[in-house]
Amino acid sequence: MVELLVVFGVIVVLVGVAWPVTVRMVRNSHQVRCLSNLREIGVGIEAYLSDHANRYPEIEMARASRDEPVPVLETALEDYLPSAEVFHCPADREVFKASGSSYLWNSTQSGRHRLQTSFLGIENQPPRVPLVIDKEAFHGKPDGVNMLYADYHLSDKVDFRAGRR
In a domain, 95, yes or no: yes
Q: What is the pLDDT of residues 114-131, one digit of tens each?
A: 989 988 888 888 888 999
pLDDT exceeds 70 at position 162: no
| Cα–Cα distance for residue pair 83/77, rounded to 1 Å | 10
Please report which confidence band the pLDDT of residue 159 belongs to, taking 50, 70 and 90 as the band edges. Answer: low
Task: Determine, yes or no, domain membership for 132.
Answer: yes
164 lies in some domain: no
Q: Does residue 22 sit within a domain?
A: yes
Q: pLDDT-based confidence at 142, cuts 50/70/90? A: low
pLDDT at 132: 94
Contact 162, 121 (CB under 8 A): yes
Q: What is the mean pLDDT of residues 3-28?
A: 75
Helix (H) or strand (E) holding 46: helix 2-51
Is pLDDT above 90 for 144? no
pLDDT mean across residues, the chain: 86
Range of the domain at 129: 2-155
Q: How many domains does the chain have?
A: 1
Residue 26: the pLDDT is: 66
Q: Residue 161 domain-assigned?
A: no
Contacts of 78 (CB under 8 A, 6+ apart): 84
Range 11-33 average pLDDT:
73
CB crowding 114-142: b at 16 or more within 10 Å, else e: beebebeebeebeebbbbbbbbeebbeee
Report pLDDT for 139.
76
* Residue 163, domain member (yes or no): no
pLDDT, one tens digit per residue, over 39-79 is 999 999 999 999 999 999 999 999 989 999 999 999 999 99
pTM here?
Answer: 0.79
Residue 165 pLDDT exceeds 70:
no
User: Is residue 6 a part of any domain in this protein?
Assistant: yes
Mean pLDDT for the stretch of residues 18-28: 68
With respect to residue 76, please indicate whether it lies within any of the assigned structural domains.
yes
- Give the mean model confidence (pLDDT) for residues 81-106: 92
